[in-house]
Structure 1
Amino acid sequence: MSAPTAPRAGATANEDDFDLDRDASRTVRRRSLRLLGNLLSPHLKKLAIAGVLVVISTLGQVAGPALVAVTIDRALPALLERDDSGLLTLYGVLYAVAAVAGGLAAGAYIRQAARIAQGVLLDLRRRVFRQTQRLSLEFHETYTSGRIISRQTSDLEALRELLDGGLTGVISQMLLMVFVAVSLVILDWRSGVVLACAFIPAAILTRWFQLRSQVFYREQRTASARLIVKFVETMTGMRAVQAFRRESTTERDFGGLSDDYREANLKTFGLNGRFQPGLMLIGNLTVTVALAYGGWRVLGGTMEVGVLAAALLYVKRFFQPIQQIGMFYNAFQSAAAALEKVSGLLAEEPSVVEPKRPTPLPEPRGELHLDHVRFQYGDGPTVLPDLDLHIPAGQTIALVGTTGAGKSTVAKLVTRFYDATDGHVRLDGIDVRDLSSTDLRRAVVMVTQEAYLFSGSVRENIALGRPDASMAEIEQAARAVGAHEFIEQMPDGYDTDVNKRGGRVSSGQRQLLSFARAFLADPAVLVLDEATSSLDIPGERQVQHGLQTLLADRTAIIIAHRLSTVAIADRVLVMAHGQIVEDGTPADLIAGDGRFAALHAAWQDSLV
């Protein structure tokens, strides 16, 4: 975006801010329209067919009043004066044909529009899900899960209402208004002038409604998103809510957000309560004026009765679509606000990008080198000022230090969840920026404290990194880390459903399953980020053997506070303020008088 220009003479700061906000709104609106056009472009042929069908349907509706006019003014006199029923039969047949053709075309149009709408929604739903998986960890650490859920649920639901109601409603209604106005002018241009005069206040009222509904519906979507975020956060953190007796506080907060959502809805309903009656009043007054003016002309002999009847039908029919368009505009504003949010999500770019010409890594060895790496999160303070670290292939190192020392940041850089601000992170001499994500994820695997298990069987969770693994390979991985025995004791063995987030297994068992998953993936580099910190002493002992098996013959980075886990490392690095302040074997550092020796002494005292 270009830099803002200097304020014009006489402009206030508030006016400039308004101009910038207006420019931003235009940008967002153009982005939303581009997305909508992109979604509709694969359906152009279907849209063309739908366009033909809606024209036929509208012509069938518009033909009715004109046929009524000629029936009254031509067919009835012929029947009364000459006893000739031919014209009456002809116009009756034409009226029936127009009605049937219009009805059939309308039905076909509704089905065609529904297919287009569902195709667009399917494409958009897939895009949103694909985008959330494509975006980097930085995005997910700042963009709450509740907001993402809101994009995938309530926002897409608002778009569904727009597409279902819009394609089958507003397009046909607008076309009907145009055809009715043209037909009325052709039939009797003076009645057309009456309609044109009435259209001016109707257009002003609609514009007034449009401007205010844009603001109100955007507020409604924001209030809805905040409500969903609060609900998701509370349900996700229910254990903490109940443990700290925060039920009343969260209930009060949720009640406040619910009240905000109610107020936002009341604003939109109040706006509709003024718009709809206003249109009805304008329409009824126009019919009254058209009747009075037309009746005066009929009495004066300058207008036929059939033309008056048709003109009244046309005038009344003209205002019916305006009311329906007003009702549609409610859904349109809600969907427009939702489309802005969805298009904003889809416009996000990952901070970690795939290389255009990746360097192949067919046989990774696991040698790591952080070459004078500097890193900071966004515009925040520098976390790693100048880290230079070499880890030979096959070596197990442990990173220890106080919270905020930069240990987890090192893990995120090695796994390329983030890119270094300056310097290079190299795997086997290749900058990780030059590796494809497929090669990098195959070579480097991280096991975290959470040890997340997905809904599904034990077998599916172990095979997460290698879905094509055989049952024998899955069982071998479980045996290697000591998980086979407790899996066999589960109700259905390896086919047991672990339930939501692994609720059927203990923390130690869940960690062993994550070790089996990593063992089956067989990476060259394994990163353990606080992988045993949530375990009690018996649970930790349960996973120690599995951990030693897992680390054999591969490069490993262990981030841990528990020194029992650190003891299995070949080398210990003590970090402080993003720098390595101690480096050596566990035995050498314990024998010294540095920070690690102090930590080890404190840990020994805690065991007594």
Structure 2
Amino acid sequence: MAKKEDNQKSKRHLKRFYYTVDQAIEKPFNWKQIWRLLVYLKPYTKTYLLGAIIAMIVSTAIRLAVPILISKAAIDIAIANKDTSLLINLVIVIAVLYLLSYVANYFRIKWVNLLGQNVIYDLRQHLFTHVQGLSHRFFDSRSAGSILVRIMNDTNSLQELFSNGIINLLMDIATLLGIVTILFVLSPKLALAVMVVLPLMFYVTSVLRRKIRRSWQDVRIQQSRMNSHLNESIQGIRITQSFTQEKENTEFFDGLNTDTFKAWLNATKKSAMFRPFVEMSNAVGTVILIAYGAHLIIGNDILPGTFVAFAFYLGMFWDPISRLGQMYNQLLVAMASSERIFEYLDESPNVDEIENAYEFEEMKGHIEFDDVQFSYDQERIALHEVSLEMNAGQTIALVGHTGSGKSTIANLISRFYDPTKGAVKIDGHNLREVSLNSLRRHISVVLQDTFIFSGTIMENIRFGRPDASDEEVIEAAKVVGADDFIQRLANGYETEVEERGNILSAGERQLLSFARALLANPSIIILDEATASIDTETEVKIQAALRRLLKGRTAIIIAHRLSTIREADNIFVLEHGKILENGSHDQLMELKGEYYELVRSQFQMLDAI
């Protein structure tokens, strides 16, 4: 029964999801968005784009000229007058023209593909670079899967537009205008007769295009949902297996997969109606051409060559119309994708830099919070008008229950967020007036859940300082006690670690993060529950390494395990975003306040164990 209710909730959620998207589908065509997208063509206009346009003009002109040569010159003159030499010359000319058309098409296809690939490369690079520079608030409200879909799927969906769409659009418009002009020059009566079906065709195809547009929107929506779920499922596979939810997860994926399958079937079924209708219009035009054209020939209103020319051009006429319909769909796809891309590109970092921001050449590490208030959202205040001072070179500990504001203080020091009120200063400089790169270059952060990148052990330690030598990397690993386990690995420092360092234990990954932080040689180091994943034996082993790591640096240690902070110069005890008390371990124990109770309760838990 509960499972049935869950499925009903899921269906209700999907209805809400589809309703929102359907409203978006009905939005008017946004030409500004398309023009903004076309700006990415600018660096290649004088090379690939111009070359492709010239090649397109040459091939289109040849396509339009050949039927005239065949019908008027070959049939009405050479064949009618039995002029063999003229006929041979025409055959040679037409053969040369087709060869020239082949060369022009070769370069057109080559240049438009180079154009498309370069534009997509630039767009994806721009989007990724911009997203990397956004503030933490941006990532707090979005899943990694949804960001991945926009950087990959939405940019890829523009591939066809830039590779073929733009040039094909110009080529098809030029072809249609050329054909219509030639037909009316040859015979206005016959031209009007064969085009009588056009108004009906445009009406029906416009209705079809709207339906096709909606159906392909549904396909992209379903694909985005499935990609997001896949990303989450792969990243969370251990949790899925730990709670034995493989069956439920598979059933959920089956639902997404089925929805995607049905969306594709629906879209392809509607798209399949378009081409046959164009062909039917072509058939009607051909019937009119044969019937009315024969009548005009009999009445000597047109020559047989004109009739043949009409047959050629009528065969060429409907393909561009069909492609223009597809091009319209491409533009709709491009508009939808570009809106999603530009939504991210229009995001400004919440933490931004002022002009001529101060650059830290050297940093002593004196930290000051001046009446700082901060909230992640309007409903919950994380820090309440906190004022504190951390002297350069001191080891500062932040303790308190979960949600007391410890990590928030660390985030404000690194300027991942700006305070809602008050100021955070380092060496007397308000962080709002400081260059982000110069600030974070002097700060190293070691988290409880450390991130290990795909690559070698050597590359992971060197991540924070790419120019470090191999000897410096090895020395940093030795200092924090990581060298022992690294040497035991199959290839030592050249051992490849998979994504997130899954071949290493939690403690080994933490030791690597210590080595990475030490190698960066920061002025301020933040250890956010950094020893929580390390067993007691390993913790004792790295205490001496930590003393060397922290020596001469301002260190902020966030820890629930209070035994790790006994030697801190100053301990701040927080509760609900406020500082309750501060002092050294001995001072706070004598005070017998909140810190004393925290220590006592922790030792009681150990005694109970």
Length-normalised TM-score, structure 2: 0.91
> Using the alignment, how far apart are the partners of 2:31 and 2:479 within structure 1?
56
Residue 543 to residue 210, structure 1, CA distance change in 2 (3 Å)? farther
Contact 1:298-1:305 within 8 A present in 2 as well: yes
> Using the alignment, how far apart are the partners of 1:244 and 1:23 within structure 2?
39
> Using the alignment, how far apart are the partners of 1:380 and 1:498 within structure 2?
42
1:408 aligns with 407
2:315 aligns with 316
Residue 453 to residue 23, structure 1, CA distance change in 2 (3 Å)? closer
2:480 aligns with 481
Question: Which has the higher mean CA deviation after the structures are superposed, 220-229 or 533-542?
Answer: 533-542
The ranges of structure 1 where at least 4 consecutive aligned residues each deviate by more than 6 angstroms after the TM superposition are 21-24
2:355 aligns with 356
Deviation of 1:521 (Å): 1.1
Residue 116 to residue 349, structure 1, CA distance change in 2 (3 Å)? same
Deviation of 1:465 (Å): 1.4
Residue 570 to residue 236, structure 1, CA distance change in 2 (3 Å)? same
Task: Give the aligned residue type for 1:33.
Answer: I
Deviation of 1:365 (Å): 0.6
Contact 2:370-2:388 within 8 A present in 1 as well: yes
- 1:195-274 correspondence to structure 2 within 5 Å: 195-274=194-273
1:54 aligns with 56
Answer yes or no: is 1:434 the counterpart of 2:433.
Answer: yes
> Using the alignment, how far apart are the partners of 1:600 and 1:409 within structure 2?
23
Deviation digits for residues 463-496 of structure 1 (CA, Å, limit 9, x no counterpart): 1111111222222222222222222232222222
Deviation digits for residues 103-125 of structure 1 (CA, Å, limit 9, x no counterpart): 22111111111111111112112
Contact 1:465-1:521 within 8 A present in 2 as well: yes
Task: Give the aligned residue type for 2:404.
Answer: A
Contact 1:209-1:275 within 8 A present in 2 as well: yes
Task: Give the aligned residue type for 2:62.
Answer: G
2:38 aligns with 37
Question: Which has the higher mean CA deviation after the structures are superposed, 260-269 or 219-228?
Answer: 260-269
Residue 212 to residue 298, structure 1, CA distance change in 2 (3 Å)? same
> Using the alignment, how far apart are the partners of 1:217 and 1:128 within structure 2?
24
> Using the alignment, how far apart are the partners of 1:31 and 1:349 within structure 2?
20
2:81 to 64, 78, 81: 78
Question: Which has the higher mean CA deviation after the structures are superposed, 309-318 or 499-508?
Answer: 499-508
- 1:174-185 correspondence to structure 2 within 5 Å: 174-185=173-184
- 1:575-594 correspondence to structure 2 within 5 Å: 575-594=574-593
Deviation digits for residues 278-307 of structure 1 (CA, Å, limit 9, x no counterpart): 222112111111221111111122121111
Deviation of 1:265 (Å): 1.8
Task: Give the aligned residue type for 2:39.
Answer: N
Contact 1:453-1:502 within 8 A present in 2 as well: yes
Deviation of 1:438 (Å): 2.2
What is the identity percentage for the equivalent residue pairs of Structure 1 and Structure 2? 34
> Using the alignment, how far apart are the partners of 2:472 and 2:336 within structure 1?
50
Contact 1:406-1:577 within 8 A present in 2 as well: yes
Deviation of 1:277 (Å): 1.8
Question: Which has the higher mean CA deviation after the structures are superposed, 134-143 or 535-544?
Answer: 535-544
1:471 aligns with 470
Contact 1:110-1:168 within 8 A present in 2 as well: no
SS of the residue aligned with 1:197?
A: coil
Question: Which has the higher mean CA deviation after the structures are superposed, 469-478 or 50-59?
Answer: 469-478
Question: Which has the higher mean CA deviation after the structures are superposed, 133-142 or 408-417?
Answer: 133-142
SS of the residue aligned with 1:353?
A: coil
- 1:557-568 correspondence to structure 2 within 5 Å: 557-568=556-567
List runs of 5+ in structure 1 lacking aligned partners.
1-16
Task: Give the aligned residue type for 1:535.
Answer: I
SS of the residue aligned with 1:369?
A: strand
> Using the alignment, how far apart are the partners of 2:202 and 2:167 within structure 1?
22
Answer yes or no: is 1:462 the counterpart of 2:461.
Answer: yes
SS of the residue aligned with 1:301?
A: coil
> Using the alignment, how far apart are the partners of 1:266 and 1:328 within structure 2?
21
Task: Give the aligned residue type for 2:50.
Answer: A
> Using the alignment, how far apart are the partners of 1:582 and 1:500 within structure 2?
42
2:117 aligns with 118
SS of the residue aligned with 2:364?
A: coil
Contact 1:205-1:275 within 8 A present in 2 as well: no
SS of the residue aligned with 1:424?
A: strand
Deviation digits for residues 360-397 of structure 1 (CA, Å, limit 9, x no counterpart): 32221101111111111244422212111111111111
Contact 1:217-1:337 within 8 A present in 2 as well: no
> Using the alignment, how far apart are the partners of 1:25 and 1:374 within structure 2?
41
Contact 1:567-1:586 within 8 A present in 2 as well: yes
Contact 1:223-1:257 within 8 A present in 2 as well: yes
Deviation of 1:128 (Å): 2.1
Deviation of 1:334 (Å): 3.6
Residue 128 to residue 184, structure 1, CA distance change in 2 (3 Å)? same
Residue 23 to residue 155, structure 1, CA distance change in 2 (3 Å)? closer
Question: Which has the higher mean CA deviation after the structures are superposed, 400-409 or 201-210?
Answer: 201-210
> Using the alignment, how far apart are the partners of 1:554 and 1:29 within structure 2?
55
- 1:140-539 correspondence to structure 2 within 5 Å: 140-167=139-166, 169-539=168-538
Residue 158 to residue 346, structure 1, CA distance change in 2 (3 Å)? same
Contact 1:455-1:502 within 8 A present in 2 as well: yes
Deviation of 1:57 (Å): 0.3
- Please report the RMSD computed on the Cα atoms of aligned residues, expressed in angstroms: 2.2
> Using the alignment, how far apart are the partners of 1:416 and 1:177 within structure 2?
59
Question: Which has the higher mean CA deviation after the structures are superposed, 92-101 or 38-47?
Answer: 92-101
Contact 1:117-1:160 within 8 A present in 2 as well: yes
Task: Give the aligned residue type for 1:205.
Answer: V
Question: Which has the higher mean CA deviation after the structures are superposed, 100-109 or 416-425?
Answer: 100-109
1:9 aligns with none
> Using the alignment, how far apart are the partners of 1:357 and 1:216 within structure 2?
51
> Using the alignment, how far apart are the partners of 1:245 and 1:567 within structure 2?
42
Contact 1:508-1:543 within 8 A present in 2 as well: no
Deviation digits for residues 430-478 of structure 1 (CA, Å, limit 9, x no counterpart): 0112111221012222111122111222222111111111222222222
> Using the alignment, how far apart are the partners of 2:339 and 2:371 within structure 1?
42
In the alignment of these two chains, the number of paired residues is: 585
